[in-house]
Homo-oligomer: A and B are copies of this chain.
Amino acid sequence: MAKKRIQNDDPCSVARALQEVGDWWSLLIVRQAMFGSRRFSDFQQQLGIARNILVDRLSRLVETEVLKKVDVGESGRRYEYRLTEKGRDLFPVLVALRQWGDRWNPCPGQPPLVLRDHRSGQPVPRVQVLDARGRPLELVDVYVDEDNSQQDAG
């Protein structure tokens, strides 16, 4: 149960959230892919991740169809890793996680990265759980329908 090393000075709140809540190289790879990384060397450089771990996690992400591996070489082979629809669909998870990190574990001496909306240039508001009418829901407002599960009867 080794802990993955995430650099302590990593400026990204997502990475810092992960440092607390789990150890999630895969999600960090997805996050980098969302912000434009496609090549093995990009991921390696941006994440500071060991080569063998990156190989393992990329192939797992391809296997589970979060990423797809595409040959983009015009002469000879050159591979890129691109998000599938399933991978892109992790967007709300990553934004919510980033915001949690920004709120509870900001990087000392650095303002958090700001996620902005192309249309307006405004910061993206906090991701919330909303009811069908768009009213915010907190944890106390919801329950799990237990018909299907004894496990959630806590």
- Residues in B with CB closer than 8 Å to A126 are 92
B100 and A144 form a contact (CB under 8 A): no
B129 and A104 form a contact (CB under 8 A): no
A113 and B30 form a contact (CB under 8 A): no
- A43 nearest CB neighbor, chain B only: B154
- Classify chain A: how many residues form its interface, as a range: 35 or more
For residue A61, give the distance in angstroms from its CB to the closest CB of chain B: 8
A130 and B138 form a contact (CB under 8 A): no
A74, CB-defined interface residue at 8 Å: no
A113 and B152 form a contact (CB under 8 A): yes
- Residues in B with CB closer than 8 Å to A88 are 138-139
> CB within 8 A of A138: which of B27, B38, B42, B91?
B91
For residue A60, give the distance in angstroms from its CB to the closest CB of chain B: 8
Instruction: List 8 A-B residue pairs with CB atoms under 8 Å apart, sorted by A's residue number.
Output: A1-B4, A21-B27, A38-B154, A92-B127, A113-B146, A124-B129, A124-B131, A125-B132
